[in-house]
Structure 1
């Protein structure tokens, strides 16, 4: 079981984007030292508490801070962009960090309807063209001659493409194109099992991927006690509630007993969103992640989890990685 990291470059209250980007570089170095397989970053726009809007730039920053770990997008929201521009950006990243680049693609805008106005795009129409744009981007990177222009850098780049999804659409497209598939179960777990079954049943082997390859995302907060893990997780809980109620902001400090303070409707919504979560001690996290891997048959798990204190996030990852390594018994 490969474990990876999904980072949002969260900006805490009182913090700055510059400080959060520096913390992300430290976090990526730790992930590499601990043996994590990938370090992914996600595209979001217009959110005061997230500094990863320019994903390719952020990945160059992380690439310079590390040397071996795979780095990539989890994901690039392709309807926001021209396939040529993404081919050039990630082709450049491959030239800088050869053999380490992943390109995960999603079709959501990564923000509300205002992003379309600012991008001068009809994002609904662009999302409808997502399959065609993925195919065009794939052709640009392969340099197969089917596009009128070549991506430079980009043509022939050694990039691993992924389809991301939180519904059945992405699963169907990934299966049709023969690409690996990552499911966003860290915030939209409802269709997880159905999507993975659909992907595996309809998978068509390709030059990129001979057989189905699945990654699932899980929130992970590990600490010395369950109470401490629940406390550090409360910052992200507050952010989810703020986003759902239309008041997004910077990542707030932890609040003891936050979940118990919520009205029933909001608490039910939060529990539904955060259903795929490993929160607790080292042993709790090992049990939850092991059960998740067994239930889904996932080839990889990507861990998500922002904390107000960067030190708590680093310690959480150390505990999680140690827990999962300890769960593997070497063959005699």
Structure 2
């Protein structure tokens, strides 16, 4: 059985406000819980006009208040931006507030451009081994094993579910070495997905938290009642990706544009074909077929659905269609 989860970038709509984005995040988390999603994640991004989840632990606390049972967490925290003790305290607090529900995905990218990364970190000097050491230091705080000589309060004894994130082989190798679950960012960086999957599974070492590899893959879904409607909805995300790849700057999520891809040149269309290679766009039958083929090809234990759609109700419907497709694979009843 393949579980299904949700990644919410907490999009700020063109002309909208941060408060509106956060209100929609809470509503979307409630929707995820009602439609059978295993977990709801937000991701740490900085200096991005269209993403409101920079203060990631605060957003998790916000959606935690609105939900009751679904796992909530970070996909992820960019650990080089933070002292491990600070993250232990933040997620120890979240674990105390929402016990048994907190996920902590860890990545090593800045979640921003170099200028913003420098403002966050004060220096860009780095040691390639710093991230693995920081992950193990964080594990030590939660285990309260005395290895650091410091007790994290809150944090000591907390049990967030830790994941390693990645878009290259580095994260796959680290997750395998530490015996942790691994989430690959195939929803925006699919180029090395197959190699990363093979690396993680081949090198995995059982650990006290995980006996065998557990793989999650990011997957875009733009679902609607018809293929044509879905293709229109997808143009909002397409505009966002083109802006990021051509200007280096994020934009607020724009409304859909009919015939958008016909207005693009060969280079921009190639960018979209590459970035969105792991996607399903269409009506319920099309989406169900494409999701099934992706799971069959990769053997993923979980899919992390991303659905960057401008209209909130259409976005919720897209996630619901994806959930129906996953339930149909195990003959579970569809949500109403």
On the 8 A contact 1:108/1:127 being kept in 2, the answer is: no
On the 8 A contact 1:80/1:123 being kept in 2, the answer is: no
Whole-Å separation in 1 of the counterparts to 2:170 and 2:32: 31
Alignment partner, residue 116 of structure 2 = 115
Q: Does 1:134 align with 2:124?
A: no
On the 8 A contact 2:29/2:66 being kept in 1, the answer is: yes
Matches within 5 A, 1:1-332: 1-125=2-126, 128-246=129-247, 247-329=249-331
On the 8 A contact 1:229/1:279 being kept in 2, the answer is: yes
1:261 Cα offset (Å): 1.5
Q: Secondary structure at the match of 1:218?
A: strand
On the 8 A contact 1:80/1:126 being kept in 2, the answer is: no
1:124 Cα offset (Å): 4.8
On the 8 A contact 1:216/1:301 being kept in 2, the answer is: yes
Q: 1:298 to 1:125 in 2, by over 3 A?
A: same
Whole-Å separation in 1 of the counterparts to 2:124 and 2:78: 10
Whole-Å separation in 2 of the counterparts to 1:123 and 1:236: 30
Q: 1:251 to 1:127 in 2, by over 3 A?
A: farther
How many pairs were matched up? 330
On the 8 A contact 2:81/2:121 being kept in 1, the answer is: no
Q: Secondary structure at the match of 1:191?
A: helix
Q: Secondary structure at the match of 2:41?
A: strand
1:239 Cα offset (Å): 0.5
Whole-Å separation in 1 of the counterparts to 2:128 and 2:39: 27
On the 8 A contact 1:79/1:126 being kept in 2, the answer is: no
List structure 1 segments (4+ residues) > 3 angstroms apart after TM superposition: none
CA offsets 1:196-241 (integer angstroms, 9 cap, x no match): 1110100000011111000001001110111111111110110011
CA offsets 1:153-190 (integer angstroms, 9 cap, x no match): 11111211000000001000000000000000000001
Whole-Å separation in 2 of the counterparts to 1:294 and 1:140: 38
Q: 1:55 to 1:231 in 2, by over 3 A?
A: same
1:116 Cα offset (Å): 2.7
Whole-Å separation in 2 of the counterparts to 1:71 and 1:265: 38
Whole-Å separation in 2 of the counterparts to 1:120 and 1:43: 14
Whole-Å separation in 2 of the counterparts to 1:282 and 1:46: 35
CA offsets 1:266-314 (integer angstroms, 9 cap, x no match): 1101110100001101111111111111111110001001111111100
Whole-Å separation in 2 of the counterparts to 1:128 and 1:55: 24
Whole-Å separation in 1 of the counterparts to 2:18 and 2:120: 22
Whole-Å separation in 2 of the counterparts to 1:120 and 1:171: 25
CA offsets 1:42-77 (integer angstroms, 9 cap, x no match): 000001110000000000000000000000110000
1:121 Cα offset (Å): 2.8
Whole-Å separation in 2 of the counterparts to 1:254 and 1:127: 41
